[in-house]
Chain A
Amino acid sequence: MEYTEITAYDLRSLAKAMCTKGNCHLVAMFANDERSSIGYFAIYCIFGGNGQFKGIKALLTSPDLEFESLTPIFQVAAWYEREIHDLFGLIPVGHPDLRRLVLHENWPMGLYPLRKDFCMEQDVPSARIPCPMVSVQGEGIFEVPVGPIHAGIIEPGHFRFSQSGEQVINLDAKLFFTHRGIEKGVEGLPLELALYQAERICGACSVSHAISYSQGIESMAKIKIPLHAEYCRGLVAELERLYNHIGDIGNLCAGVGFAVGISHGSRIKEVLMRLNESITGNRFLRGVVLPGGVSLEITLEISQEIEIVLEGIEEDFLEVMSLLKDNSAFLDRVKGTGILPHQAALDLGVVGVAARASGVEMDTRRDYAYSIYNKVRFTVPVETNGDVAARLWIREAEVEQSLSIIRQILKCIPDVGSELRVDIPEIKPYSSGLGWSESARGCNLHWIMVGEKNKIYRYFVRSASYPNWPAVTVAAPGNIIPDFPLINKSFELCYACLDR
């Protein structure tokens, strides 16, 4: 990937020019402490468009560590800049809302954990810094605080609803409760060892994270992995999408209290989880994708086993879908609920199922073809209503596509019995690489800079849930509060992916 190196003074004008003239959009933004090598902090902006990613590297040469905020021109930059402000103490001048994002009340002022001079062993005292939430004032308006611990078996997040009766007027979300500081934790680890943390950023996106991470390293090392390994990665990635989508459709029924749908969804998902365990030894397909290749050979027996299971679930799944489609009470709840307008999806840089349901035709597998995705045929389903139903129909259509991709893979697996993995050579220090993949939730980006002796210098993860979370707060207002669980489930975002 190419970077245009500039000073931070020119960041806004160049970013604007790239988007308007270059027909691309901002997909990620992060900082890096390069004071020891080049003397400055750097802000990296990654842009995507026309089938490739391009970057800007802006050096913060001014001693006051300020840069001109991109948020006034690109709304999508808002969270990235807040995160940079929290973790590096760099100041995006002109940002309209610099409340804390990643760090909460308990973190003291003036301590920036992702700077290189932050000592991990130091004892950080608990602080009480106010982190106000957005609320609406007015006669008859009241607030409903929910979480971080929820009533169901889901991940933690705090939601603050401003209500007028049943109607949601505004929603503010406080997230990053499961922030584990993984990006900092892997610094200094050998590339091959950090895979296990990368894979554990999120459970339901384990394969996607492992693929993005591995491809980032492989692009840095300029190596090609064996063809069989590429097919194997494609296979496990699609198996991951399959169990996620089917499980999510079942879970969505929980949002409307349709118990039959929940049961069937979780039953079919269990069949797939057992298949995962049977072929890879782990129900979440962990341990298959490794930097340089894979650990699993797809033998004839494995192919046959997968084919038999898929044969069984396909008809079963279609029958469950017809139960939902024939049920007017169910349709009544999902149609027209939680609409994410097309323009909002574009402005917020929304990805994956949520984007495609709001008429944004995008899929990393097709637009930035990686792995085997230019060798298999598939279509990218798009809906235009942007409501809960649209996100459901997208998932249904993608299940069909995934089944077809898996069958195509199994039909023509090359080089059985050959090498599964190549070694990662010593990479030139301070080179960087970008890896991407399409998880069940959308485009998942990993950026890695390697230091001395193939150890990680900086690691940045922008999962699909990152740009999509702000979209939930756009889709909820105007609906009644009992529909929020349904809207939330229709996006089905990971908290762990976002929080890292």
Chain B
Amino acid sequence: MNRFSLANKVIVITGAAGLLGINHVQAIADAGGVPVLIDIDGSQLQSTVEEFKKNSQH
């Protein structure tokens, strides 16, 4: 058992498009979690999500 696993955990991150927020999202995704990104800056949030999608494995 991996005690550090976040598999299937839905985790909300505020300020997700900021400098540290992006790293929090990455950490949660790497641990198998399901990050839900919240930010007040729509365009920054959109570009953050697009970058993550581009980098995700298919």
- Whether chain B is bound by chain A comes out as no
Residues of A that sit less than 8 Å from B by CB: none
Interface residues in chain B, defined as those with a beta carbon under 8 Å from any beta carbon in chain A: none
